[in-house]
Amino acid sequence: MKIIAMTNKKGGVGKTTTALATAAYLGQSGFSVLAIDMDPQANFTQASGADMNVAGTFDFLNGTPIEKCLQKLPKYTMLASGPRMTRAEKEFDQIGRERLLKSALARVKDYDYVILDTAPSVLVLTQNALCAADAVVICCQADSFSLLGLDDMMHNIDLVQEYYNPKLLVAGILQTRYNAQTKISEQATALFQDKAKEFGTNVFSTVIRENVAIKEAQMRQTDIFTYSPTCHASEDYAAFTKELFAIVEGGKKKWPKNSPKQNSEETPRISIPRSPRKRTTRRR
Ligand SMILES: Nc1ncnc2c1ncn2[C@@H]1O[C@H](COP(=O)(O)OP(=O)(O)O)[C@@H](O)[C@H]1O
Ligand SMILES: [Mg+2]
């Protein structure tokens, strides 16, 4: 079982969209997936069409057996967030509070992948996600503003590696909402690559294009592959999930043969060359 967190201190950079698409694509490709909404804003829960007012993530972290907290959705099983999650910061005040998720998940064995969506903060819920994760994806909107705060985010990841989770792999920086028509997206790619090098990680060679179908799917509370299997965002998220899979599995597992095919479209999918990996994680 591999645990993967989508993160960034900034909001609106595609964390939830990426968590949802990754969970859905892994699920429809035959993997068993547990999706955990770690954000009190509960956007992942809402966009999945799950119920926010029943037992979910908060109760699971608080010691309720997982069977009582799960919601079964067509492509993945979910631990939902909701209004009660806002109490987490106050109520989880005991020593070791950063490790609640890690210890609760230690008893869970039934899934191939656990996908964590995190809040735009590095407070206790995000710390729990980073302590429990095997790998972290840093989602960044493809504009230069996304670089602000990246140093701080990486510093926090460093601290988590140092004190709690030395095996945490920084899988890479994912560029979301890429618009080939704007110069800024192109320029940002070069800046992200520089930053990634500095941090000892990579920029994913797949970029996620800006696509209105993402918003439409979220409004209909469905995943992008169900809503529009051939749109640009579906193509990009399928390619990203496979790239992530290869990184997280270290090339030891093959992607299932019978997984759904993406239709090829006239416009080629945008991908940028990956620079060779030097280190998997940044150490000070
Ligand atoms: N590739 C995309 N194309 C168009 N809109 C997108 C794309 N990715 C995300 N969005 C939209 O941007 C907003 C922020 O995305 P979200 O995933 O909620 O970010 P975060 O979880 O980091 O706050 C949402 O309204 C979402 O629908
Ligand atoms: Mg979000």
Q: Is 16 in the pocket of ligand 1 (CB under 6 A)?
A: yes
User: Has residue 214 got a pLDDT over 80?
Assistant: yes
- Tally of CB atoms within 10 A around 273: 8
Given the CA of residue 215, which atom of ligand 1 is nearest to it?
27
User: Has residue 266 got a pLDDT over 70?
Assistant: no
Contact 39, 119 (CB under 8 A): yes
* Pairwise CA distance, residues 106 & 118, whole Å: 19
- Return the SS3 of 35: strand
Q: Is 215 in the pocket of ligand 1 (CB under 6 A)?
A: yes
Pocket test for ligand 1, best of 206, 212, 215, 231 (most atoms within 8 A of CB): 215
- pLDDT value of residue 144: 72
Which pLDDT tens digit goes with each residue over 111-139? 999 999 999 998 999 999 999 999 999 99
Given the CA of residue 18, which atom of ligand 1 is nearest to it?
17
Given the CA of residue 218, which atom of ligand 1 is nearest to it?
27
* Pairwise CA distance, residues 79 & 132, whole Å: 15
Torsions phi, psi for 243 (to 5 deg): -65, -45
Residue nearest to atom 20 of ligand 1 (CA): 12
- pLDDT value of residue 260: 61
Query: Whose CA is closest to 114, among 197, 184, 175, 26?
Result: 26
Q: Can you give the residue ranges of every domain in the chain? A: 2-248
Q: Is 260 in the pocket of ligand 1 (CB under 6 A)?
A: no
User: Would strands 2-7 and 70-72 be described as parallel, antiparallel, or unpaired?
Assistant: unpaired
Q: Is 17 in the pocket of ligand 1 (CB under 6 A)?
A: yes
Average pLDDT taken over every residue of the chain: 91
- pLDDT value of residue 269: 66
User: Has residue 282 got a pLDDT over 70?
Assistant: no
Query: Thinking of the domain 2-248, which architecture would CATH place it in?
Result: 3-Layer(aba) Sandwich (3.40)
> Residue 10 C-alpha to ligand 2 middle, in angstroms?
9
Query: Whose CA is closest to 3, among 118, 143, 93?
Result: 118
> Residue 118 C-alpha to ligand 2 middle, in angstroms?
7
Chain Cα centroid distance, residue 133 = 11
> Residue 184 C-alpha to ligand 1 middle, in angstroms?
18
> 193 or 258: whose pLDDT is higher?
193
Contact 76, 27 (CB under 8 A): yes
> Residue 277 C-alpha to ligand 2 middle, in angstroms?
28
User: Has residue 276 got a pLDDT over 60?
Assistant: no
User: Has residue 259 got a pLDDT over 50?
Assistant: yes
Number of the ligand closest to the Cα of 22: 1
* Pairwise CA distance, residues 172 & 196, whole Å: 8
Given the CA of residue 17, which atom of ligand 1 is nearest to it?
17
Q: Phi-psi category of 221—alpha, beta or left, where left has phi over 0 and alpha has psi -120 to 50? A: left
User: Has residue 264 got a pLDDT over 90?
Assistant: no
pLDDT band at 272 (very low <50, low <70, confident <90, very high): low
Across residues 258-268, what is the average pLDDT? 52
* Weakest mean pLDDT among 3-17, 39-53, 183-197: 183-197
Residue nearest to atom 17 of ligand 1 (CA): 14
Number of the ligand closest to the Cα of 44: 2
- Percent of the residues in the chain that have a pLDDT greater than 70, as a whole number: 91
- pLDDT value of residue 284: 43
Q: Which amino acid is at 153?
A: M
* Weakest mean pLDDT among 44-58, 82-96, 220-234: 82-96
> Residue 278 C-alpha to ligand 1 middle, in angstroms?
31
* Pairwise CA distance, residues 237 & 241, whole Å: 6
- pLDDT value of residue 24: 98
- pLDDT value of residue 148: 80
> 190 or 37: whose pLDDT is higher?
37
Q: Is 146 in the pocket of ligand 1 (CB under 6 A)?
A: no
Q: Is 238 in the pocket of ligand 1 (CB under 6 A)?
A: no
Which pLDDT tens digit goes with each residue over 154-195? 999 999 999 999 999 999 999 999 998 888 887 888 999 999
> Residue 39 C-alpha to ligand 2 middle, in angstroms?
7
